[in-house]
Structure 1
Amino acid sequence: MKIVCFPHGYYLSEVSRLVEIGKKLRDMGQEVIFFSHGGPYHWVAESEGFNVVTIQPTMSPERANTYMKFNRAEVGNPFRDSFFTYEELKDYVPREAEALKETKADAVLIGWNLPSYLSTQLVGIPIIVQQPGPFTAPFFDRKMGEFVPSFIGLLRHLPMDWFINWFIPRMKVWLKPFNQLATELGLPNYKTTLDFMAGDLTLVMDTPEILKITHEELLNYTPRHPAYFNKPPLYRYGGPCFAKLPGGIPENVKKHFDTKRTKLFCGMGVSGSPKVLGSIIDIVGRLDLQAVVVTTTILQSDLKNVSDRVLVLPHVPTHLVNPMADIAITHGGAGTVQTAIHSGTPLIGVPMHAEQVGNVSLVRRQGAGILLPKQSLAQGEIENSIKKLITNKSYKENMMRLKKLQDQIDGPSKAAEEIIKFIQGRSKALN
């Protein structure tokens, strides 16, 4: 079989997850090719021996910056706007379809390369999606969503968890340009955002005991509200999957963390807020601790007026550096949360959007972390949270318990097995 991995090339976590799954697919005898509309992280796939094919049109850094701002709800109106405009989709979708036909792909595996939801239908091949559990229908059917006060200022002091779990299964954000083009192409319209995001197979990239949805529940899942889907979604567990960048621990990190002070690691991936990350750098620089902060493409790493107790770097192999820390600060991306769990490091989560709230809530509910709304971020909040994680040993003990659960699962291998099983089963059904 020939499988195309098609990540959004500006998201390091997404590229690295597809690389980890792609490696396992390749080990299992499948042909794996990477497609990309551009971005700075081709090297992650190329360093593992994958061929990366650039598909036109390519996304400029400026356009990617707007895309990420929209993802953080800093620009645009999600009920009117989307990640792509209708005009952009008219350019992206047919070119993707043409490339997929030429490649003779059997399936496409994506993360957030959204035009593929339409292009795969034009070609008649399945789209396989890898998603964190907190952005799937079963999560909200079981009323596990949490409201974060900073998201809707006027409702800040109201108990709104019920609203999140009622609204998200019904919401239709981002859909307008996709449905407009789908109608023109003779394809079915998406009924809800969760319908849009489900794909033909959705791999839930979490540990069942941490997500608190059993294998059996996911295997036998039927939507509580079937009218919100064109067809019943098919969910299967993949498992935890996070970046493992090449290289060892940098010498400057070893030296910086050779201290009796509390050691803090902060990484917000690519989807974190520059403003929030800048505030954290400023705040932790005034505290009596040693911090390593990874900026990726969010901020320049050569920042001015940074405390000498804060080492700022663009990238590190997080899975090796995080275990050196006493505490982690993350934006709540699935990869950064799972890396903290793998490292046994209690965390402070400052989420940017609803899915990240869900990821942090999984850890907070199990007593292994703290969730802070981004708009209430202040030195006192950060300092008090750090003190709580250090002085209350149960946070570390609980995170080590989660680590034991997560480390039992080879997420990339499980995901690869489910992909192969799905494609083979689909081929038999068609024949």
Structure 2
Amino acid sequence: MRTLIFAPVTFNLAETTRMIVIARALGPEWRAIFQVYEDPYTHLIRDAGFEVRRLAPVLTPDQQAQALALDQGRSIRHPFSTRLVRARVAAERRLIRQTEAEAVVMGTNVTSLISARAEAVPLFYAVPFALTRPHVEQTARLGLAPGSGPLPGAVDAEPGVPDAVPGALDAVSSAVRGALDAAGSAAFRLVYDRLPIAPRAFTAVAREVGVPPLRTGAALFEGDINLLTVMGSELAGYSLPAGYRRVGPIFAELPGEVPPVVRELAAGPRPLVYLALGSSGDRRTVLAAVASLARLDVEVVAPVRHLLEPGDESELPERVHLVDLLPAHRLGGLVDAAVIHGGQGTVQTACATGVPFVGMGMQPEQSWNIAVCAREGNAIALPRRAAGTRRLTEAVRALLTDPRYRQAADRVQAEYAAEDGAAAAVAAIEEVLGGVG
């Protein structure tokens, strides 16, 4: 039996579930072993029936938050000391040798960039397109300036939202934001692709084990073979360099059933709106979004309890219903619209289930994911600061009343039905490794 090691960051839900979906697509000749460090979503791997090997050292919760912020481009602080990186690389190398793994499939477990190469096994990186090297190098506006969009007109133009029709001052403001974004994007490209900004530990340990040092930001987020988990339309106008290939959407299918309250609300007289802000959200944004939705005659189901404080639930409007993490891929036909952050998994789930949505990107990659859908017509992109304002209220109203959004959502859903990103990822892995003989 042939072995693959999967290396997700297990405090990142989207990344963990993406690895699970790929592992499920493997044929019976493959053995999937998950190397894990932290606990938050390791149980999902075990529940899926896969072998788990726990490695050390483990990041503390505060260090996990730092690493997640670094991955999302929200901070340059990091927990990666030379001692920690050296110990993790050694543990991962031992696992590769002990299991005789042919390759490593990673999420954003950056020490795999050193350990896999030191053991001379191919490193596959299943990753969204946004903020990859070709995306950064070939995109003039990355959406870095507040209120600007990574696709011209996609974020600041919301068709069907009355108070979003720009006047002369709005047009000037948009032009200024666009210019700032272009300048910021040029600066980001220089820093990301050329300057030695990677934590020194990665360069030091790479040298110790005899592999090329990781100096730049781009080097920290690039495997040997990068499997882009996107629709083909997202790559329109881009050329992919060697080592990059599109495989298609890969998103979570969490176990379990939809809570009864969701089905009861879906059968009721009011439209049902899904509110989910992932790990990028915070209490302030949740409460502000709820205030905007409370102006509409809708029911709201929201897996956001993890972002609230004790006592908040009792203060919520009666038509806002908190639920735990649920299998969002089963919400098609039950919810009428969604308000979400722009994490790729959440966006792709909405697309695959035919749910039109308002997206509030909380970092550049998320803004890009939303802007792609705004261009397709199944989403409205708003800045995070719109939570609590009538812009969010009117955007959701537009989704519920303007048939164009539903028609676009149906079209996108049909396009997603023709894709199998996990199967394509496995095919790419087997192609590189020489088939399944």
Considering the TM-score relative to the shorter chain, is it more than 0.5?
A: yes
Aligned residue in 1 for 2:63:
63
Q: Which residue of 1 aligns with 2:177?
A: 158
Q: How far did 1:28 drift?
A: 5.2
Farther off after superposition, 9-18 or 179-188: 179-188
Change (3 A) 1:63 1:146: closer
Are the structure 2 counterparts of residues 71 and 274 from structure 1 closer, same or farther at C-alpha, using a change threshold of 3 Å?
farther
* 1:46 aligns to 2:65 (yes or no): no
**Percent of matched pairs sharing the same residue:** 24
Q: C-alpha distance in 2, partners of 1:174/1:311? A: 44
CA distance in 2, matches of 1:72, 1:299: 22
Shift of 1:366: 1.6
- 2:227 maps to 203
Look up the match of 1:116: 112
After TM superposition, give the deviation of residue 323 of structure 1 in Å.
Answer: 4.1
Could you tell me the TM-score, scaled by structure 1's length?
0.85
**Who is 1:288 aligned against?**
297
- For residues 160-239 of structure 1, what are the structure 2 equivalents within 5 Å? 160-163=180-183, 165-172=185-192, 175-177=198-200, 178-190=202-214, 192-212=216-236, 217=239, 221-222=240-241, 233-239=242-248
Does the 8 A contact of 1:13 with 1:269 survive in 2? no
Q: Deviation string for 1:190-232 (max 9, x for gaps)?
A: 3532333121000000110344268xx5xxx33xxxxxxxxxx
Change (3 A) 1:384 1:151: closer
Q: CA RMSD in A?
A: 2.8
Amino acid aligned to 1:235: Y
Partner of 2:22: 21
* C-alpha separation in 1, matches of 2:402 and 2:191: 39
Residues 298, 185 of structure 1: alpha-carbon distance in 2 compared, 3 angstrom cutoff: farther
What displacement does 1:22 show?
0.2
Instruction: Answer whether contact 2:34 2:53 (CA < 8 A) is retained.
Output: yes
TM-score by length of 2: 0.84
Change (3 A) 1:69 1:287: farther
Q: Deviations over 1:26-65 (max 9, x none)?
A: x252111111002221222222210111111123334323
Contact 2:144 2:184 in 1 (8 A): no
Gaps of 5+ in 2: 149-172
Kept in 2: contact 1:256–1:311 (CA 8 A): no
1:387 paired residue number: 397
**Shift in Å, 1:16:** 1.0
The 5 A counterparts of 1:307-346 are 307-346=317-356
State how 1:71-86 maps to structure 2 within 5 Å: 71=71, 76=75, 78=76, 81-82=77-78, 84-86=80-82
Q: Is 2:378 aligned against 1:368?
A: yes
Q: In 1, are the aligned partners of 2:250 and 2:422 still within 8 Å (CA)? A: yes
SS of the counterpart of 2:431? helix
Q: Secondary structure at the match of 1:248?
A: coil
How far is 1:293 from its partner?
A: 0.9
Equivalence for 1:2: 3
Q: Give 1:86 deviation, angstroms.
A: 3.6
Number of aligned pairs?
405
- Paired with 1:143 and 1:123, the residues of 2 have a C-alpha distance of 35
Q: 1:272 maps to what in 2?
A: 281
Deviates more, 1:329-338 or 1:193-202: 193-202
